[in-house]
Amino acid sequence: MSILVDRNTRVICQGITGAAGAFHTRACLEYGTQMVGGVVPNKGGTTDENGVPIFNTCAEAVKSTGATATMIFVPPAFAADAVLEAADAGIELIVCITEGIPVLDMVRTRRFLDGYRGVRLIGPNCPGIITPGACKIGIMPGYIHKPAEHSESRRAVGIISRSGTLTYEAVWQTANMGIGQTTCIGIGGDPIRGMSFTDCLVLFNADPETDGIMLIGEIGGTDEEEAARFIGNHVQKPVAAFIAGRTAPPGRRMGHAGAIISGGGGGAEGKINALREAGCHVADTPGELGTTMAQALGMQ
């Protein structure tokens, strides 16, 4: 099984004619994703280089294609409006890949999204989501992912990460350990974003085919501590975790806009301690992601 996306998910791309939108639409199509349309103002009635029909608005695309998900590759200045347009059109899953969106734009967007029931946002500044062998939305390298039925152990885990690169590393290592993945979600590294660790944990905890969960966090914010509290109180599955940024100096942003230690909070050690107290197996280095997950599953 999986969460959020599967073989039946019908996807559009906002910004499909841009270089990144066109490239990744083609990659998603090649993976097997049902890419049913694109949205670019004033280009409605045409097709992109992959033969995908283009519409002027999300509302037109949804009405014509029945799309329930979108991936957004529009410039930062217009990305927040693209998110809201998708929500207003009734799209249930919005995956915003764009990075560099002004924080104030996302503050306003999150406030408006609270008024749309049933709408979930992944990102921004994220690699997207993939259910191995079924559906890829975003920029994740599909070939490294392994469905549970193709794994040697017949075990599968859900992966949630703030870091795109470490998402791929976790997938690669677990796959090499004979562990498949049900769904992998890159929630993004910005301080204001859509789905949180806890939002994803709720779904993975309820998925009968997810045997364990891997959580990859980093310095900055309090998402990991909140996730640790939820894990300790509610999660019934083994959880492995890793926190990036242990050596980062306070007050300096490291890579992601949200990865900054300030005001005495957001440090790596506090997050690690909270996760360990919640019963998680915590990897000390990125090279131990796969072995730590295998230990949590009782495979080692």
The answer to whether residues 153 and 260 belong to one domain is yes
Per-residue pLDDT, 263: 46
Q: Look up 256 and say whether it is catalytic.
A: yes
- Kindly state whether residue 131 falls inside one of the protein's structural domains: no
How many structural domains comprise the chain? 2
For residue 206, being part of any structural domain is answered with yes
Residue numbers of the domain that contains 84: 10-122
- Give the pLDDT confidence score for residue 249 in this predicted structure: 63
Q: Please indicate, yes or no, whether residues 189 and 284 belong to a single structural domain of this protein.
A: yes
Average pLDDT estimate for 75-103: 97
Residues 118 and 150 in one domain: no
Q: Which two tokens stand for residue 239?
A: 């959880």
User: What pLDDT, on the 0 to 100 scale, is given for residue 267?
Assistant: 81
In the chain the first and final C-alpha atoms are separated, in Å, by: 25
Is the residue at 219 inside a domain? yes
CATH number at residue 206: 3.40.50.261
Do 161 and 53 have their domain in common? no
Q: What is the pTM of this model?
A: 0.93
Same domain, 157 and 287: yes
Rounded CA-CA distance 56/60 in Å is 7
Indicate if 150 and 73 belong to the same structural domain: no
Burial class for 117, CB neighbours closer than 10 Å (0-12, 13-18, 19+): exposed
Q: What pLDDT does residue 255 have?
A: 56
Q: What confidence score (pLDDT) does residue 256 get?
A: 56
Catalytic residue among 24, 145, 256, 281: 256
- Mean pLDDT, all residues of the chain: 93
Q: Is residue 2 part of a domain?
A: no
Q: Are residues 292 and 197 in the same domain?
A: yes
- pLDDT, mean of residues 2-15: 97
Q: What CATH number is associated with residue 78?
A: 3.40.50.720
Does residue 108 sit in the same domain as residue 215?
no
Query: Are 75 and 194 within one domain?
Result: no
Residue 251: the pLDDT is: 56
What are the strands of the beta sheet with 69-72, ordered from one edge? 54-55, 34-39, 10-14, 69-72, 93-96, 120-122
Q: Is residue 130 in a domain?
A: no
Domain match, 113 and 201 both: no
Q: What average pLDDT does range 132-149 have in this prediction?
A: 94
In a domain, 212, yes or no: yes
Considering the domain architecture, whether residues 148 and 262 belong to the same structural domain is answered as yes
Given 90, 122, 154, which residue is the final one in a domain?
122
* Residue 22 forms part of a structural domain: yes
pLDDT band with cut points at 50, 70 and 90 for residue 262? very low
Say if residue 71 is in the same domain as residue 164. no
223 within some domain:
yes
Domain boundary (63, 89, 122) is at 122
Judged by average pLDDT, the poorest of 55-69, 125-139, 145-159 is 145-159
- DSSP secondary structure string, the chain? --SS--TT-EEEEETTTSHHHHHHHHHHHHHT-EEEEEE-TT-TT-B-TTS-BEESSHHHHHHHH---EEEE---HHHHHHHHHHHHHTT-SEEEE------HHHHHHHHHHHTTSTT-EEE-SSS-EEEETTTEEEES--GGG---GGGSTT-EEEEEEES-HHHHHHHHHHHHHTTEEEEEEEE--SSSS-SS-HHHHHHHHHH-TT--EEEEEEESSSSHHHHHHHHHHHH--S-EEEEEE-TTPPTT---SSTT---BTTB--HHHHHHHHHHTT-EE-SSGGGHHHHHHHHTT--
